[in-house]
Amino acid sequence: MFDVCIIGCGIVGAAVAYELSRYDLSVAVIEKENDVATGSTKANSAIIHAGYDPEPGSLMARLNVEGNRLAASFCDSLDVPHMHCGALVLAFSEREAATLAQLLQRGRENGVPDLRILPRDEVLEIEPALSGEVVAALYAPTAMIVDPWQYTLALAETAVRNGCSLHLETAVTGIEPSPLGYLLQTSQGFIETRTLINAAGLYADDIHNMVAPPAFHVQPARGEYWLLDKSEGQRVSRVIFQCPSDAGKGVLVAPTVHGNLIVGPNSAPSEGRNDVSTTAQGLHFVRETARKSVPGLDFSANIRNFSGNRAATEHSDFIITEPRPGFIDLAGIKSPGLSAAPAIAKLAVSMLEKGGLALHEKQNFIDMRKKAPPSGRVVCRCETVTEGELRAALHAPIPPRSVDSVKRRCGAGMGRCQGGFCAPRVVDLLAEHYNCKPTDVLQDGRGSHILVSETKRGLCTDTI
């Protein structure tokens, strides 16, 4: 019996787990995939927004600005790669310049600090690669870039280190009210809990509908990206937005904490919640739109295209409600969800407290995390990742179970050669650690085997 069960270990679920792990409570996180942050959290722009964009008075506005402040402190204490680089919103016409003025006004109402409008010359002085067509820009110095995946891992790991239990590869298939709370039917058996947090992201409506009458519908909107090599990483020093429109915040160009350049996203309806494919048209649109901001972008330096789904619903704001006592929806957490997550978590915990959950602070709460230093031979030559770092990850509170999980934790395989050199070595390390055959090692999620059999009649004797 748990005091709180959290369904979903994306950034929102991890942030709630972290917040709850401060208290003397039994907390579980249930995640259907084999790692944390496999959905929307994994594939987005990796920006902690300043908060000038959301409508004043909305949950998004309040939680974004508060979340931005919390993120800055968590990234320091939990050793999450981040950079306080600031953001520019570019205007290419007088009409767009008027939009900047509105954004400035909105940002000030939302409580975003230090916003100001920069004239053309000043913009081009601090970002010389920008198009000369720019007429002005809104400067938001509190915008940050972060590794969203590491951010989630750091929060989840800290929660686990403080006693929270994480159940990976555990899908919730049904929820029944029970005398003391809720009984979860999962792919790994039954789990009982007093209270329940729905942080299921793209599947939040499915989970909600197991408990309460339908109230919203997740309508995933896909965003496609280019990730360029470090040779392009210095092209801009800040997050470069174009003026937002009804279609969203538009295509951005930004450095990443790993030194690459990220370009995207578009917004296209998704064919399914698992649909993270890219399309020729989508990538073309992103490329051409980005060139309006930064004409000199070299897309031949591309190392990876990817796409992610925004967990949007028909509601414009986040859905943070308690449709049944002890059951809290944290749904529709689209952008700026990554920015708002720690504030969403605090709000959720205060809602649980109001519902009667007693919060007693732990005496020995561990609120520090330090990644392992490099040691031993180099496994990944592009990113200079050592065997010591890989082995440390394998012994961390949430060890990687696949080659991509290793990549997300340690950076091995993230560089120019995309694992061409190090993948066989990482496969060996995983096989050794889990005492399994290399053919059992996964690229990423369930079923994503890298190798199908041994050579020497392996294909004949294999179960085809």
- Active site residue ranges: 49
> Quick one: which of 288, 376, 432, 434 contacts another protein (CB under 8 A)?
376
DSSP 87-133: EEEEE-SHHHHHHHHHHHHHHHHHT-TT-EEEEHHHHHHH-TTS-TT
For residue 222, the cross-strand partners are: 268, 309
Of 132 and 447, which CB lies nearer to another protein in the complex structure? 447
Residues 427-446 that bind another protein (CB under 8 A): 428, 438-439, 442-446
Choose among 128, 107, 118, 123: nearest CA to 50.
107
- Report cis status (omega within 30 of 0) of the bond before 265: yes
For residue 196, the cross-strand partners are: 5, 327
Report d(CA 108, CA 91) in Å as an integer. Answer: 19
- Nearest-approach distance from CB 290 to another protein, in angstroms: 14
CA atoms within 13 A on the CB side of 165: 13
Place of tokens 């904490």: 257
Would you give the binding string for another protein spanning residues 157-186, x where CB under 8 A is met? ------------------------------
Of 134 and 301, which CB lies nearer to another protein in the complex structure? 301
- Nearest-approach distance from CB 459 to another protein, in angstroms: 4
Does 276 sit near another protein (CB under 8 A)?
A: yes
Q: Which two tokens stand for residue 425?
A: 């070595």
- Nearest-approach distance from CB 380 to another protein, in angstroms: 10
Q: Which two tokens stand for residue 68?
A: 């931005």
Element (H, E) at 77: helix 59-77
- Nearest-approach distance from CB 252 to another protein, in angstroms: 19
- Report cis status (omega within 30 of 0) of the bond before 336: yes
- Nearest-approach distance from CB 264 to another protein, in angstroms: 13
Number of residues that bind another protein (CB under 8 A): 58
Q: Which two tokens stand for residue 380?
A: 């990944």
Of 12 and 303, which CB lies nearer to another protein in the complex structure? 303
Does 216 sit near another protein (CB under 8 A)?
A: no
- How far from 322 is each of 211, 329, 348, CA to CA, in Å? 11, 6, 9
> Quick one: which of 161, 292, 346, 449 contacts another protein (CB under 8 A)?
449
Please enumerate in sequence order all residues whose Cβ is within 8 A of that of 375, keeping only pairs 6 or more positions apart, or say none. 386, 387, 388, 389
Q: Which stretch binds another protein (CB under 8 A): 167-175, 185-193, 295-303, 335-343?
A: 295-303
Would you give the binding string for another protein spanning residues 327-366, x where CB under 8 A is met? ----------------------------------------
Q: Which stretch binds another protein (CB under 8 A): 93-101, 175-183, 250-258, 279-287?
A: 279-287
Of 233 and 374, which CB lies nearer to another protein in the complex structure? 374
Kindly state the DSSP code that residue 371 receives in the 8-state scheme: P
Amino acid at 233: G
Would you give the binding string for another protein spanning residues 224-253, x where CB under 8 A is met? --xx--------------------------
Of 362 and 381, which CB lies nearer to another protein in the complex structure? 381
Q: Which residues bind another protein (CB under 8 A)?
A: 226-227, 274, 276-280, 282-283, 299-306, 374-378, 381-382, 384, 386, 416-421, 423-424, 428, 438-439, 442-460, 464
